[in-house]
Structure 1
Amino acid sequence: MSEKDTPVNPIIENSFLTSYTQNRELSWLRFDKRVLDEADDSNVPLGERLKFVEIFTSNLDEFFMVRVGSLLNLEAMDPKKRDNKSMMTAREQLNAIFEKTHELYKERDRLFSYLRRKLMERGIGHVNIHELSKKQYAYLEDFFQECVLPVLSPQIIDKHHPFPHLDNKKLYVSTMLKSKKKLIFGIIPLPDSLNRVVYLSKDKTEFVLMEDIIEEFIDQIFTGYPVVDRAVFAITRSAEFNLEEEEVETGDYIEAMRKALKKRNHLKPVRLEIRSQGKSLIAEYLVERYKISKSQVFATSAPLTMDYVYGLDANMTDSMKQEFYYLPYTPVSLDEKYHLEEGQTIFDLVKIKDLLLKYPYDDFGILLKLIKEAVYDKDVVSIKITIYRVGKGHVKLMNYLMAAAEMGKDVTVLLELKARFDEANNISWVNDLREAGCHILYGFDRYKVHAKLLLITYRDESGQGVKYITHVGTGNFNAKTAKLYTDFALITPDDAMGRDASMFFRNMGIGNLWGEYQQLLVAPVNMKKCLLSMINEEIAKVQNGGEGYMLLKMNSLTDRQLIDALFAAGQAGVKIDMIIRGITCLVPQRPGLTDNITIRNIVGRYLEHPRVFCFGKGEDMKMYIGSADWMTRNTENRVEVAAPIFNEELKKEIWDMLQLQLADNTKARIMDADGEYCLPVVKPGDKLIGAQDYCICNRV
């Protein structure tokens, strides 16, 4: 029998393949635990610590809607299918997720209780009902009778009152009522018309939440029924939906999306969150009603949603704001960054040199100024842009695009309608853009367009040919997130890059995914192939007696093929440093396996969002920035773009920032061989370095 014919023992083969990898979902939960750790950091202001509890909570909401929803679907379709990083079935993954999440809820409750108490000590009182004085309680009862009770819509469940549809993540106050010899379920949706935060005094420093008020006085709502149990709960539903092929094929893509979005709120429940006292009859009732397992029920003492924390500073004094929150940061302005000569515009400057914007340290208004100047420049003939998440509150960019179209310029907007949870907002722009004369593209049925690409085309001096200004970014064209996320944006007059960008938009317009590109890495066309080739080049350096090195920064690493290539590179002697904010299915520092690989993440004031790929060091280093994480969904199932950094000055600027993050010993955590995050070792006399704080203080 030849070696080729020798049967492979699947147990041995799978054991090796999982010896340096971990489950994607459990890795994500470790990341969200890192967010919660920031709420436990005494060096972070109290108000910001409370925000980290909220971020953890909203992250977990999305995780259940998307990932848990997908796993439940997978279990129903193919219960024997195994994840290729951990060899776990969908059910095994779900069991592990639920077990870990129950632990995280306990930690969240502990932190919320601690932070609530600390804030109350400093005059910001989130008061529990039982802590009220008699005077406050009487005031609250009067407030309930006059302002709350008239707008409530209570309902009991019996043969004349059918069980209502429960919206995703909406808060409901519920009760079990005694009626003769049986129990009746009563329910009240929290009205959207009522303010959730109710202040107890004119100075607005003490407050209670609306759901607490309704729960406290629930016996005054369901009069005539003794109250046996009461609780506040929320149902989380799966968010994973598919467009109906028949509707898409008719050509009415917008209508198909609208119908799909309506269906989302009726998808299967994946989690029940409940705040109750002791053993909950209500939880038992809802478990039976929705046919979910008890492991999907999460009891908590903290509020079920916490977005209200973002408005608490509105009534604080300036001194309170300084004590409880980060000091406001003003980004570097256009004038401060570039010192333009008299009469010179940013459009003039980018015609002759590459520019690099670093958010949130640089003002997003610099990019908006460039686009505005392009709109009114007589030589500009076209503006083409990909839009993934533009944001509800930001209209300047869209107004500029519409103005350009109305002035007769060729404006193409590739608007991704499938941007999760932003679908309705993106759809809302379609009619305005179309009426202004913009060409609208929707991308592809099975491929989200996630690229962050902008192309400005203008006539050259002769008036016969054209030149390009190309923008390739790591983040969305979104003014709000540009203040909250760290991102890079390259703006270049490079002609070859402009031709690639022009080819990209032409291909998108004719529905061609598979064009050829000379400078840009484009997924699913050539990106993974080029990344694998550059990894192999680093291996070849070592094999030829040189030094191989990679420095990679991204949000997530899950692509099995790229993971195996990195493993092979590390085995060959290539040194690999990675800065990965979220999921990493590759586990570093395992003896004999991934000794040459280090992974760290940084969670701080800003969400780390750039994707930067560096191969080699020094003059021969290849550096790319772009929109794609190293996930199969990005490399194979999305349209992504990454651009090379040729300008040595900009390359050094990015490199220095990455080196600063590798030196971070305050907000960084190092991943160990078990996939856990550990504090960096700080020796006596070592200088404390926080990469984000350094950039803020030095206005990099």
Structure 2
Amino acid sequence: MSQQVYMNRELSWLKFNERVLEEAENKKVPLCERLTFASIYQSNLDEFFRVRVGSLVDQMLLGGKIRDNKTKMTAKEQIEEVLHQVMKLNRRKDAVYDAIMGQLEDYGVRLVDFRKISKKESEYLEKYFLSEIAPVISPTIVGKRQPFPFLKNNEIYAVVVLQTKSGKEKLGIIPCSNTGFKRLVELPTAGTYILAEELILHYIPEVFKRYNIKAKSLIRVTRNADIDADALYDEDLDYRDFMAELIKRRKKLAPVRLELTREMDGEIVDVLCDYLELDSDYVFQVQAPLDLSFVFEIQDTLRKTPELFYEKRVPQKSSQFRDGEPVFPQIREKDKLLSYPYESMKPFLNFLREAANDKEVISIKMTLYRVAKHSKIVEYLIDAAENGKEVLVLVELKARFDEENNIEWSRRLEDAGCRVIYGLDGYKVHSKLCLVTRKSEGQVEYYTQIGTGNYNEKTARLYTDLSLMTANVEIGLEAAKVFQALSMEETVDNVQHLLVAPRCLQNKVLSMIDEEIACAKEGKEAYIGLKMNSLTDKKIIDKLIEASQAGVKIDMVIRGICCLIPGVKGKTENIQVRSIVGRFLEHSRIYIFGTQEREKVYIASADFMTRNTLRRVEVAAPIYDKDLKMQLEEMFITMLSDNQKARQEDSRGNYEIAEAQETPLNSQEFFYEQAYMRVTI
């Protein structure tokens, strides 16, 4: 049997989350940062169950005949393997969490439970519970008069088995998430804390005094979030109101996971599963707290101990821009490229601010997918509209889990006089595109910004992204074409410079791979370099396999899902895949096709996933400036040389830390050091 060259998408994602967990386990990572990675592992898994497992469950309920187009696994087979892998990974998460918290005690921080406290502390907590918590909690006893309550997604509840004097058993449930009290409760002993849900669970006999407590546990339910907005949309409804209603509906979808912190009798678990209409296979017992978001509060108490954290890094001034001078003339001189988080977003913010106030600017057009809760970018767009500019903003209301924020911003933009549109039927608009049109001395000028990441000031300090700013007229005209199509609820079907999904990206990528295949067959040097978050598009995967078989050398830096297995003899032996998981979230996309004179380089908003290439509006921009092209090539080579945070995928689909045979190289730290050096030169 030939060796498999495909990996299942869901199992590949779990391997990515395992790499996140490895950073929590990595003793070279500062202790508080390890805690952050444990929290990220958990929140990643929460979303994975809501979206991906939820989707698989829906497929299974519909008959389960759909098979993964790469590994041919059914939904049931995928779920079974996912649950098996998650059980193993969660044991590692529990162990590393316990180890980290144990080590933090050496720094004066203790998170305790009732096995680890003194009598005096116990007396204090009982008084605290009775005065601060007991008056505001809302207990329920499940019975004929009180049905089983609706358990909110990812919120923590205390559940207890109550026995009456006659021996009859009932369930008691108390919500532990409440704005009336703090979750992280500080004890009088300096640096000592306990979680409110542990307090509630311990003192639950004080709440249900008439009953004998047979068993108790903290629980958390994760609910399916996989709703197809386009399939449900009614054209007679206001789209924004429809999305607001959809958010409410999503909060009530069926459970896909139940977590417990204490071992409970199987019959009790079955009763809970019956109420929740959940199969017991989806039940997980965990040792660590059900929600690790409190760790950031603990970290704040330790900020004065620098060895517990990464060295402080601040985005630096870009050497491509001159301070104190208008941005537009500088972009006219030469294309500019910003690299986040190493360089500051300030030049782009200045660009928007100047556009809002420049009397010669006619219009600003922009796509917004995810923005900060306090967004200067949106404020500048509002300023522009109030200054009489034509402002067109496409706000994607289907940006998963950011819908409410986007709905609020869309209302503010409309109130200010911006023209707001909401995307296309059947397609998310995921492109990062901004076009400023200016008329100076009778000449129309186009200033186009195309990025790999969201217009979000917060994530620009945490994610690695790229932002091109150009006055190239042909690119500007094509950007205008994209906005015109969006305004008409259409997609672009013909471009010469940009790559624009859903109709002009996948086909052009396949064509450029074919060009490399043709060169290899002629005995010429052929090369493809790709940097992205995920690779799942089977058409592109199969074309890359064909290219490898033809002798094209292919280097890929893929942070997350990779459904292609490299290094398989006779199939993918000319392909190498690396994943970088480090301090910053790798988010930039770079496409490189060809060598030397015929080399084509792009930055893009799109991963090579079918959802990006065929079901979203995405934009990739060509890099024509030789200096910027060289800058991106050097960045790509540096990432390929990373031997500290890069994992190499082998021919079995497993990832191992790249061996540091030479000088240790952490690409993210290297790029930051470069940014600091450029400022001092």
Q: TM-score per shorter chain, which class?
A: over 0.9
Q: Is the contact between residue 229 and residue 281 of structure 1 (CA under 8 Å) also seen in structure 2?
A: no
Call closer, same or farther: CA 1:403–1:619 in 2, change over 3 Å: same
Q: Report SS of the residue matched to 1:65.
A: helix
Which of 304, 308, 314 matches 1:330? 314
Question: Structure 2 matches for 1:181-260, cutoff 5 A?
Answer: 181-190=167-176, 191-201=178-188, 203=190, 205-243=191-229, 248-260=234-246
Counterpart-to-counterpart distance in 2, 1:115 and 1:283:
30
The aligned counterpart of 1:11 is none
The aligned counterpart of 2:423 is 443
The aligned counterpart of 2:669 is 693
The aligned counterpart of 2:615 is 637
1:352 aligns with 2:338: no
Counterpart-to-counterpart distance in 2, 1:350 and 1:251:
43
The aligned counterpart of 1:12 is none
The Cα shift of 1:395 comes to: 2.2
Counterpart-to-counterpart distance in 2, 1:476 and 1:163:
42
Counterpart-to-counterpart distance in 1, 2:651 and 2:532:
20
Counterpart-to-counterpart distance in 1, 2:76 and 2:468:
44
Q: Report SS of the residue matched to 2:670.
A: helix
Counterpart-to-counterpart distance in 2, 1:445 and 1:305:
36
Call closer, same or farther: CA 1:168–1:485 in 2, change over 3 Å: same
Q: Report SS of the residue matched to 1:421.
A: coil
1:89 aligns with 2:67: no
The aligned counterpart of 1:566 is 544
Counterpart-to-counterpart distance in 1, 2:90 and 2:288:
9
The Cα shift of 1:344 comes to: 1.9
The aligned counterpart of 1:309 is 295
Counterpart-to-counterpart distance in 2, 1:236 and 1:246:
23
The aligned counterpart of 1:605 is 583
Counterpart-to-counterpart distance in 2, 1:646 and 1:39:
41
Counterpart-to-counterpart distance in 1, 2:439 and 2:475:
17
1:149 aligns with 2:134: yes
Deviates further, 296-305 or 510-519: 510-519
What amino acid is aligned across from residue 200 of structure 1 in structure 2? L
The aligned counterpart of 1:10 is none
Q: Report SS of the residue matched to 1:550.
A: strand
Counterpart-to-counterpart distance in 2, 1:244 and 1:471:
29
Q: Report SS of the residue matched to 2:115.
A: helix
Call closer, same or farther: CA 1:101–1:440 in 2, change over 3 Å: same
Question: Structure 2 matches for 1:640-651, cutoff 5 A?
Answer: 640-651=618-629
Q: Report SS of the residue matched to 1:529.
A: helix
The aligned counterpart of 1:579 is 557
Which of 272, 279, 299 matches 1:286? 272
What amino acid is aligned across from residue 131 of structure 2 in structure 1? E
1:53 aligns with 2:34: no
The aligned counterpart of 1:160 is 145
1:514 aligns with 2:503: no
Q: Unaligned regions of 5+ residues in structure 1, if any?
A: 1-14
Q: Is the contact between residue 398 and residue 428 of structure 2 (CA under 8 Å) also seen in structure 1?
A: yes
The Cα shift of 1:600 comes to: 0.5
Q: Report SS of the residue matched to 1:185.
A: strand
Counterpart-to-counterpart distance in 2, 1:221 and 1:124:
30
The Cα shift of 1:242 comes to: 2.9
The Cα shift of 1:317 comes to: 5.2
Q: Is the contact between residue 504 and residue 515 of structure 1 (CA under 8 Å) also seen in structure 2?
A: no
1:455 aligns with 2:473: no
What amino acid is aligned across from residue 324 of structure 1 in structure 2? L
Q: Is the contact between residue 527 and residue 635 of structure 1 (CA under 8 Å) also seen in structure 2?
A: yes
Counterpart-to-counterpart distance in 2, 1:34 and 1:621:
33
Q: Is the contact between residue 447 and residue 469 of structure 2 (CA under 8 Å) also seen in structure 1?
A: yes
Counterpart-to-counterpart distance in 2, 1:88 and 1:456:
48
Q: Is the contact between residue 435 and residue 479 of structure 2 (CA under 8 Å) also seen in structure 1?
A: yes
Q: Report SS of the residue matched to 2:234.
A: helix
1:339 aligns with 2:322: yes
Call closer, same or farther: CA 1:543–1:249 in 2, change over 3 Å: same
Q: Is the contact between residue 148 and residue 275 of structure 2 (CA under 8 Å) also seen in structure 1?
A: no
1:276 aligns with 2:247: no
Which of 231, 247, 250 matches 1:261? 247
Counterpart-to-counterpart distance in 1, 2:597 and 2:189:
64
The aligned counterpart of 2:383 is 403
Q: Report SS of the residue matched to 1:152.
A: coil
Q: Is the contact between residue 644 and residue 660 of structure 2 (CA under 8 Å) also seen in structure 1?
A: no
Counterpart-to-counterpart distance in 2, 1:315 and 1:75:
47
Call closer, same or farther: CA 1:246–1:446 in 2, change over 3 Å: closer
Q: Is the contact between residue 23 and residue 582 of structure 2 (CA under 8 Å) also seen in structure 1?
A: yes
Q: Is the contact between residue 375 and residue 457 of structure 2 (CA under 8 Å) also seen in structure 1?
A: no
The Cα shift of 1:138 comes to: 1.0
Q: Is the contact between residue 361 and residue 439 of structure 2 (CA under 8 Å) also seen in structure 1?
A: yes
Counterpart-to-counterpart distance in 2, 1:327 and 1:185:
50
Counterpart-to-counterpart distance in 2, 1:222 and 1:410:
63
Counterpart-to-counterpart distance in 1, 2:256 and 2:404:
23
Which of 438, 456, 459 matches 1:481? 459
The Cα shift of 1:128 comes to: 2.2
The Cα shift of 1:337 comes to: 5.2
Q: Report SS of the residue matched to 1:642.
A: strand
The aligned counterpart of 2:350 is 369
Counterpart-to-counterpart distance in 2, 1:279 and 1:294:
12
Q: Report SS of the residue matched to 2:382.
A: helix
Q: Is the contact between residue 229 and residue 280 of structure 1 (CA under 8 Å) also seen in structure 2?
A: no
Counterpart-to-counterpart distance in 2, 1:58 and 1:384:
34
Deviations 1:614-635 (A, max 9, x none): 0112232100111000000000
Deviations 1:320-355 (A, max 9, x none): 2x1211122111125x65334xx5222321122111
Deviations 1:118-166 (A, max 9, x none): 1112212112221011111111111111111111101110111111111
What amino acid is aligned across from residue 615 of structure 1 in structure 2? F
The Cα shift of 1:446 comes to: 1.0
What amino acid is aligned across from residue 286 of structure 1 in structure 2? L
Question: Structure 2 matches for 1:85-124, cutoff 5 A?
Answer: 85-124=70-109
What amino acid is aligned across from residue 396 of structure 1 in structure 2? K
Q: Is the contact between residue 129 and residue 208 of structure 1 (CA under 8 Å) also seen in structure 2?
A: no
Which of 550, 554, 570 matches 2:532? 554
Q: Is the contact between residue 274 and residue 283 of structure 1 (CA under 8 Å) also seen in structure 2?
A: no
Q: Is the contact between residue 424 and residue 490 of structure 2 (CA under 8 Å) also seen in structure 1?
A: no
The Cα shift of 1:280 comes to: 5.9
The aligned counterpart of 2:50 is 65
Q: Is the contact between residue 552 and residue 612 of structure 1 (CA under 8 Å) also seen in structure 2?
A: yes
The aligned counterpart of 1:380 is 361
Which of 285, 291, 303 matches 1:299? 285
TM-score, normalised via structure 1 length: 0.94
Deviations 1:168-194 (A, max 9, x none): 101111111112222110001111332
Deviates further, 138-147 or 120-129: 120-129
What amino acid is aligned across from residue 83 of structure 1 in structure 2? D
Counterpart-to-counterpart distance in 2, 1:184 and 1:274:
18
The Cα shift of 1:360 comes to: 0.4
Deviates further, 305-314 or 415-424: 305-314
Counterpart-to-counterpart distance in 1, 2:29 and 2:202:
34
What amino acid is aligned across from residue 55 of structure 1 in structure 2? I
Counterpart-to-counterpart distance in 1, 2:94 and 2:325:
56
Deviates further, 131-140 or 603-612: 131-140
Counterpart-to-counterpart distance in 1, 2:557 and 2:284:
33
Which of 586, 590, 604 matches 2:568? 590
The Cα shift of 1:593 comes to: 1.6
Counterpart-to-counterpart distance in 2, 1:116 and 1:543:
58
Aligned-pair identity (%): 42
Counterpart-to-counterpart distance in 1, 2:469 and 2:234:
36
Q: Report SS of the residue matched to 1:546.
A: coil
Counterpart-to-counterpart distance in 2, 1:288 and 1:162:
13
